[in-house]
Chains A and B, each alone.
Chain A
Amino acid sequence: MNRRAGVLALATVTFASLPAAAQTPDSFPPHAPSPTTLGPVRFPPFTESTLPNGMTLLVVENHSQPMLSVSLSFKAGSTRDPAGKEGVAELTAQILTKGSAKHTGDQISALIEGVGGGLSASAGADFFTISENVLSDHADVALGLLGEVSRTPALAANELEIARTQALSSLQLELSQPASIAARFFRQTIYGKNPYGRDATEASYKAITRLDVTAFAKKYLVPSGALLVMAGDVTPAQAKAWATKVFGTWRGVPPPAPAPVAAASPKTEILLINRPGSVQANIIMGNTTYGPLDSSYYATRVAMQVLGGGADARLFLILREAKGWTYGAYAGLSRYRGLGFWQATFEGRTAVADSALAEMLHQVDLLRTEAIPANELAAAKGFLVGSFPLTIETSDQVAGAVGNAKLLGLGNNYVQTYRERLNAITATQAEAAAAKALHRDHLTIVVVGDAQALYDKLKGLAPVKLMDVDGHVMAASDLNPTAAVLTIDPSQIVAHRDSFVVFVQGRALGTQVSEVRRAADSLVYEETLNFGPLGTQHTVVQMDPASYRMRQVDQTGKVNGQDALIHLVYAGGRVKGSASQPQASGTARAITVDTAASPDAHDDNALATLVPALPLAAGKTFAFGVFAAGDPAERVWTAKVIPPDTVTVPAGKFTAYRVELRGGESGLDYFITTTGPRRLVRIDVVGQPLSIQLAK
């Protein structure tokens, strides 16, 4: 009964069986040992059959563990989303498993978890897949649920709303990340009108209705042409029996695939997407290549591995190891059911982005025109061939590999012959494949970064097209706005006193009272801000009543227990005084101010009074000088007017322009009513959950 003794006994036996009076071991080898003979990949057998309704069944048997992986794929994905409603396939997948004709979403979760399994659905560009894992002795429960969610999904309206909200939040996060911004522009540009280039947008998510989702499911989640893969502890007979039981009575044929749309093939160009103030630049370069059955696929794969497949590849070794310009630079080939693409990526400091891009282009040229040295070729093939078995260890992985090969039409022995085909590639073949796949004269290069710093440097490498993150073309002159004197309409500045609620994270946490009054010889703006437990702040701004030039600003208050003070006088082309700025660290920063300020520079505290009095109209942009206590010098801020929309605040609903004020430490969005005398009804601080809204 003492297991321990048993194991030790075994150990003793084993140890004793080693050649005891052994020769002293050879001295430790100074070099890494060479590989021994590569073992064969004994891929488990698989069988294929077709059900009368046109569904293909693939069964991969593996009885080593009592586990079963099942996937059901349909040949329709996000490329079938209706124009303007990108995201339909994605949202349909999100909610597919959240309820059926027979069970609620909660019941489905409980049932599948209860048999030690998982059930989920996802939609890619080409395919819609429902996947599940389960303990094989409960396969009946899992397959029953698979049948329910694929044939009779509830697609409930409330689940759609939850999924939509989540998708919008994810999109917001994505759009804040420069790498994602670059990827979206890249795909759009290389594909042009081809649907592989489309991405969901805020507008498209919001446009999707439940009808769109149910129509997608009804049209595309049908048995004819679908692929059911079962991998693991199952026999072909059992699999066939289950498939027939669950799907036998299902009928349906999908619409024919739409004709492929030719992709764009733009001449080599740099698309520079302006992200002002960005300390990093993100580069993606590449072009569309060919379909999944192209004979040069293996050779291109090897070439890509040499270029940028990992830490041992050229881009990484040069751009990171040698130059220290980046944490990582890579390249790879992507395969779709239709036209695929290749890309190389880089992320690094703005200052080195142009040099990095030049080096990347140089490496593209080298790969296309020079044979790969034997050692690099061996290393690349060694990785691709060697790592392959690691990607098919589990039933789940096997189901995925086999299913993917089938869906892309790669042939039934694709998985078995993969390593041999890669291993056979020669340097000449790799070079020829690179020359074919990498279109040096039709290369799309996307750079996301601070265009002001990058524009001139990149012009030397290729023609540059300048855009903002929303895709609007910009002129180079837009990069350096020069401050102009603002035209203020006096009739828009009337004496008033407004009360606001301060919302932090959506909760009312304080109040603000703003008053504008004309004294005998000055225009005064007085603001009392009460943050509740966080503190108070009282500010008085004095301006010349005719020219609106700054005279003085005084602020007192305490925020988080620290003094918030400003005493600045604007005179004679300078601004002088002192300030105390509360810090997150807990100790306020004391500032002395004595710096040049152009006569028409405005204090940032004056903007609430002046911006509503600008000649606002949709699409207009203003640039002007601003000084904020804590800035080392005057800055140019811009105010961009977005077309009016309805804004809701405690005081009611208003039709208002959104004026985007940018150039300061935080961006500010001012919501200003369109009819005069205009009122500032709401201020949102960009990137923070802080909003000040009119109460009365």
Chain B
Amino acid sequence: MATLLVLTVFLPFVGSLVLFLQPKLEKKTARMTALITALVTLAFSLILTAVFKPDVTTPQFAAGAPGGPYGWNWLSGAKIQFALGLDGLSVWLFALTAVLQITAIFASWESITERPAHHYAFLLALETGLLGLFASLDVVVFYIFFEFTLIPLFFLIGIWGGPERRKASIYFFLYTLAGSLLTLLGVIALVAIHYQHSAGHVLTFSIPELTHGLANLKWPGWHSATSLTSPQVFIFLLLFAGFAIKVPMFPFHTWLPLAHVESPTAGSIILAGVLLKVGGYGLLRFNMSMTPLGAVYLFQFLVTLAVIGVIYGALTALAQTDVKKLVAYSSVSHMGFIVLGLFAMNPTGIDGAVIQMVNHGLTTGALFACVGVLYERYHTREMSELGGLWNRLPLLAFFLILSSLGSAAVPGLNGFVGEFPILAGMFAKNRTAAVLAATGMVLGAYYLLWMVQRVLFGPLREPHQHGDHAHAEVRPVGWHEIAGLTPLMVLIVLIGVLPAPFLARINPVIEPIAARLESSVPTTGGTPAPEVTHMNPAPAAVVARQGSR
């Protein structure tokens, strides 16, 4: 299985190389090559998901015995292993990447006519970067994939983007690069600290070993967080810089709307669907797992940022007239929710956040694909120029309404399965934050339904640039668009109705992380409830009181 995982990760890269080496390929051949590569990758990743054992907390499909060391010697001098594996945190994001890749390819099916081979080559390279990133078990491998994802996306936006693509791609590149360099610094500091303070000076770059080792470090200074320069807090902030920009958290979000608006549809789908999740994933994998005290120490600050992000993103989305910008700002709001769930620091909130990352990938991916369908036909995304399209494009209406409702967290669809535990978890931790974030749900319903209304409902309104003859000839939603969107719709409903199998794979790995975070909470002795008739006191009430303090 370890071989299959490696194969899955690098298969898109092989496809990418083939396309790079054949730059003169026609559109049809290029897209078919890309599609087949992506489909095989998807099939492989589905096999991996299917055989993934739900109750195992150690990484699966990794070369080497469980418990490590994993992988193959790569730079043996530096003890850097080439180690790939999946656990409950990464398995769904891994699968999500493979699914959204199909949507992205189908979204580019007709729209990319200029240098198609290179376009698909970059898309496939991006896929390898993301798959590798989620599967990495070694910080160096992780970081390489992490940085590698920047390059294809930079060119996707820069070459196939809109009129302001230069500004957008540079913004994107610099913002994320600046952050990720700080993250690198944090990672190196972690390795160095582990080397210096672990028993027997173990030099390791392995993520599981570092997580475990750092938690049991024999250095008292490591296990206290009293000021900003306490080691865990400081390193938390270094790591946070890169991931917060990726998420993106307020106020580091301004690259996102620009990048989305200028990016081609496929880029937007991958960017919003998967790349933003890298931020959340990194926060959980590094910040929350390796420097839990930092999270506890900075709790107020982080939650404040997340709540601001939820409300600010929603308000800004409300003011947009461009559909794509609206969806982009909605991402800021929804990613704020995810961060909020992470910082609830209990299994409920974190489980919700992890499943919400997948959910957000599906709904936002679908929304961007829908916007792409619109843009291809009308060459505008201004809502004032559109209206009443339900009658013109009924299938698009179905897709857009379903993904909007999913995004607005309507029960029975996937968004609710994520947002409800997030709010519940946060509510147990800090009531004020949960209540404030809940207003984001009202605004979320407002801007999404308003968007749906302006685009689909009302009297038919289409831009005039099509010429007078073209109105009757608006191309109906094509088979490739249906093929790209249908899997997402199925998953949106499936996760909404039957979330248990998805959560069952996430939950076991969250437990230890949450346990570490909860044990890091400075415990003030809560008084047990009076009149206890059973051995269970009222822990909930105690925690709730602490939270509201």
- Does A pair with B? no
The chain B residues found within 8 Å of chain A, CB to CB, are none
